Structure 1
Amino acid sequence: MAEFTMPSLGADMDEGTLLEWLVGPGDLVHKGDPVAVVETAKSTIEVECFATGAMTKLLVEPGATVPVGTPLALIGPAEERRTVRHGPTKGKPSEPAEPSEPTEIPEPSERPSPQPEPVPVPVSPPSAARLPGHIEAGPLARRLAQQSGVDLEALHGSGPGGRVTRTDVEHAAAARSSTEPQRVRATPLARRLAAELGVDVATVTGTGRQSAVRASDVRRAAPGPSALSPPAPAAAAPARPSPVHPSAPGPSEDRTTAMRQAIAGLMSRANRDIPHYYLSTTVDMAAATNWLHEHNRRSPVGERLLPAALLLKAAALAAREVPELNGFWTDGHFTGGEGVHLGVAVSLRGGGLVAPALHDADALELPLLMAALKDLVTRARTGRLRGSEVSDATITVTNLGDQGVETVFGVIYPPQVALVGFGRVVDRPCAVDGLLGVRPAVTATLSADHRATNGAVGARYLTTVTRLLQNPEQL
């Protein structure tokens, strides 16, 4: 039995609020599946499961705020109960056989004897061993059939002895969905809330994964005051309404204040504990700009690129070539990152900042990187980030060019050891081959941790970024 705990979703997180469970007790989960929605001071994040198994017990109710490391649920083996085929296991209490894993039923003896002579039992065909009305199917196939509304008795099993397999159920569910309306996806909490509030989940637009209906969607769709907030717990005595001061902060203001406090605490710690050094260089973007114009001219609208894609890809490839800047400073030493997970600083509409990661950004082709960037920014601003996206960035990039800034020196996000900054691409006078001209250029900066590297390593990184941007065909 393993504990699923409140994860640390960033160096500035001490506690989190469990907003919603996306699974229920007994549900099978796989490593990487989102199982809960957690609210931090910065954002609302989908938390992924770290193991494969069955959700045995949920320990924390939605709405509770608990410290990082608090057990939220128990995860057991995928098959918690196993039926014994040849007698109970020694030293363990035997359990009654489940219909999903039936034991072989020997033929009854007509003349029972206290000490019968050992007579070989003939092997009966599987069909003869079945009880009336019983269907051979494992627990996974039965659960899938129940979830998808498939009648097991109507299936012809393709497994040994006519046993119904998972594939049989999936094929039947696919055939059924082509002729019947598909069951609405909704979390267990959303269905329970819908029943309490009288909301038909089929009429609610889901904002969860694969358009699943969440509890917040049901509350918004519910008529009356309950649409705005979850029902309040019953009190022992009616509470006297407290006067509301006209200048009292609302929920959004409280959230913004908490976010600013979290950012202030983290940046104060970074400036106090990390000995920063700063480098900058001016990169000639003429070759990159020409390549970008030609690429976009030949590409469909959906595959066109922004300059940000070239800058991010160059930063990721340079981190792969200079791995001393790609990783973490923990326990007094540097640990290299497993892959280049590029954190991208995203400003939120309500104020504040998050820096979710583009995983393996150095290996993404430019069109895929552009699509991943758009998706990441959209989900960051709508509160739909995943836990792994906010906790495992190995190096961060901040790009303020769209804000008109030409040079930015950032503060390192601990425990990372470097932050790359890009400004606006501007036309500047420069000398090329002895001739004075005007060419597009961008200022690239590096803020690095002097405990992990020195200026020579930082200079090598910026030189690599410059080389890649001046040879865009290498990106």
Structure 2
Amino acid sequence: MIEFKLPSLGADMDEGTLLEWRIKPGERVERGQVVAVVDTAKAAIDVECWRAGVVQALLVEPGSKVEVGTPIATLLEPGEQADSGAPGKPGAPGKPLAQGKPGAAPAPAPGEEAPPAAQRARVSPAARKRAQELGVDPLAVHGSGPQGAVTLADVERAATQGAVSDRARAMRQGIAAAMSRSKREIPHYYLAERIPLGRALAWLAAYNAARVPEQRLLPAVLLLKAVALALRDHPQFNGHWLDGGFRAAEGIHLGVAIALRQGGLLAPTLQAVAEKSLPELMRELSELVLRARTASLRSSDVSAAGLTVTQLGEQGVETVFGVIYPPQVALVGFGRIVERPWVEAGEVRVVPCVNASLAADHRVSDGHAGGLFLSEIARLLQAPETL
């Protein structure tokens, strides 16, 4: 038997609220399949299954608050037979458990009205996405659908009436808590380097000119790939400070800071960045931004990144000095691309440039190593065809 436990959906997550199940007992599930939706302080996350098997029992009712690491379901491994067991044992017919935090209500008997928490948790996927866009907490909206389900119309009505989002407040509180912890615990040091992008943008323009719009690349993917490749030679910036020491990340997975339209910030993860082609990264980055902004992130999207990159884009300022997201030990920032005078071969020219910054943890590295890391990013961007 496999115990499926609530995973950590962010370094600052201690608990979540189960919103809905996407599976039922007796159903076969595959690795990577979305099995549940869990509400965190920042977003509703689609939780993926990490093992294939057959659902034996669902242990937690929708609406229950659950601590990270709590078993929420049991699965039978391929070929394993269900144990009819004593009443109340996981898998006994008609006896799912309601676990999680004390006070979680059991499943209602046939004909009984569902408890208020379960009613509030019934939110259609379209309504949940629209609520995230409008900054409305769907769990606080009165549902007019079947069995009290919150519909798209309910969310629109709540927004029109000026509903205040508890999630938006919780997100700001979560960001504040993480950043306060960062500044309290991590001895930051900061470095910055102006990087010329004339060659990179010329190569990018030629690449895009030969392709249809949906196949074109943005400068962001060049920056992300350069950071990932530089981490191969500077692994002390890719990992976490845990249990009083540095633990290197197993792969090069980058957190990408994404500003939400309704306010707030998420930093979901791009997986295995150094190993992927630029077109693959462009596609995955676009999909990641879409999922973040439509409240449809998956649990694999919020797995632990080894380093976070923040990019302010065309509407940002020239330089950003970020705060490290614990337990990571570094953050790379890029400001907007601007034209600046640049001396090359004794001549002054106007060249597009980007200011790259590094915030790093002095417990793991020092300024000399940080300078070499930024210089490697700059060097890689002078040969964009090698990315």
Q: Which residue of structure 1 aligns with residue 232 of structure 2?
A: 320
SS in 2 for 1:403: coil
Shift of 1:340: 0.7
In structure 2, how many angstroms separate the alpha carbons of the residues matched to 1:427 and 1:17? 48
Q: Indicate the structure whose relative CO is greater, using CA pairs within 8 Å and at least 6 residues apart.
A: 2
CA distance 1:316–1:39, change in 2 (3 Å): same
Please provide the CA RMSD for this pair: 2.4
Residue 10 of structure 1 aligns to a residue whose secondary structure is coil
Question: Which of 234, 248, 251 is the matching residue for 1:336?
Answer: 248
Are residues 384 and 435 of structure 1, via their aligned partners in 2, closer, same or farther at CA, if it must alter by over 3 Å?
Answer: same
Residue matched to 1:152: none
Q: Is the aligned partner of 1:216 residue 2:124? A: yes
CA distance, structure 2, for counterparts of residue 461 and residue 474 of structure 1: 18
Report how far residue 447 of structure 1 moved.
0.5
Q: Does 1:50 align with 2:47?
A: no
C-alpha spacing 1:218/1:331, structure 2 compared with 1 (3 Å): closer
The letter of the residue matching 1:317 is L
Task: Provide the residue aligned with 2:358 in structure 1.
Answer: 446
Unaligned runs of 5+ in 1: 83-91, 94-195, 197-213, 233-247
Equivalent residues of 2:35, 2:46 under 8 A apart: yes
Question: SS at 1:427's partner residue?
Answer: strand
CA positional deviation for 1:219: 7.5
Superposition pairs for residues 17-416 of structure 1, below 5 Å? 17-81=17-81, 216-217=124-125, 226-227=143-144, 231=148, 250=163, 252-416=164-328
Look up the equivalent residue of 2:180 and give its one-letter code. S
Give the drift of 1:70: 2.1
CA displacement 1:78-103 (0-9 Å, x = unmatched):
33438xxxxxxxxx99xxxxxxxxxx
Counterpart code for 1:231: G
Task: Check the 8 A contact 1:218/1:227 in 2, yes or no.
Answer: no
Query: Structure 2: 5+ residue runs without aligned partners?
Result: 85-113, 115-121, 129-141, 150-160
Residues 412 and 217 (structure 1 numbering): CA distance in 2 closer, same or farther, change over 3 Å? Answer: closer
Q: Helix, strand or coil: the match of 2:221?
A: helix
Q: Is the 8 A contact 1:428 1:440 kept in 2?
A: yes
Which has more strand, going by share of residues?
A: 2
Task: Give the match's secondary structure for 2:36.
Answer: strand
- When normalised by structure 2's length, the TM-score is 0.80
TM-score (norm 1): 0.65
Distance 1:383 1:304, change over 3 A: same
Conservation of the 8 A alpha-carbon contact between 1:219 and 1:230: no
Equivalenced residue count is 328
* Structure 1 position 217, deviation (Å): 4.4
- Report the 3-state secondary structure (helix = DSSP H, G, I; strand = E; otherwise coil) of the residue aligned with 1:402: coil
Amino acid at match of 1:13: M
The answer to whether the 8 Å contact 1:395/1:417 transfers is: yes
Bigger Rg, which one: 1
**Which deviates further from its counterpart, 400-409 or 371-380?**
400-409
Shift of residue 26, structure 1, vs aligned partner = 1.5
Query: How far off is 1:215 after superposition?
Result: 5.7
In structure 1, C-alpha distance between the alignment counterparts of 2:146 and 2:72, rounded to whole Å: 23
CA contact (8 A) 2:11 2:304 kept: no
* Cα displacement string for residues 391-438 of structure 1 (whole angstroms, at most 9, x for unaligned residues): 221111000023231100111111111100001111001211111221
Q: 1: distance between equivalents of 2:295 and 2:354?
A: 32
Q: What are the superposed Cα offsets for residues 107-129 of structure 1, whole Å, 9 maximum, x if unpaired?
A: xxxxxxxxxxxxxxxxxxxxxxx
> How many Å separate the matches in 2 of 1:391 and 1:432?
43
Q: Distance in 1 between matches of 2:286 and 2:58?
A: 35
**Identity level (%):** 54
Q: Are 1:42 and 1:259, in contact at CA under 8 Å, matched by a contact in 2?
A: yes
Q: Summarize the Cα distance change of 1:228–1:466 in structure 2 as closer, same or farther, 3 Å threshold.
A: farther
| Cα-to-partner distance string for 1:46-70 (whole Å, 9 max, x where unaligned) | 1122222221110111122222222
- In structure 2, the partner of 1:4 is 4
Asked whether the 8 Å contact 1:54–1:79 carries over to 2, the reply is no
Q: State how far apart, in whole Å, the 1-side matches of 2:263 and 2:231 are.
A: 30
State whether structure 2 residue 372 is matched by structure 1 residue 460. Answer: yes
Shift of 1:277: 0.8
Q: Which residue of 2 aligns with 1:426?
A: 338
Q: CA deviation at 1:22?
A: 1.1
In 1, Cα distance between the equivalents of 2:162 and 2:181? 28
Residue 340 of structure 1 contacts residue 362 of structure 1 at CA under 8 Å; is this kept in 2? yes
- Which residue type is aligned with residue 60 of structure 2? V
Deviations 1:352-407 (A, max 9, x none): 11111110111111111111111000000111111121122111100002323110
- CA positional deviation for 1:350: 1.7
Deviation at 1:469, TM superposition (A): 0.7
Would the aligned equivalents of 1:28 and 1:78 in 2 still touch at CA under 8 Å?
Answer: no
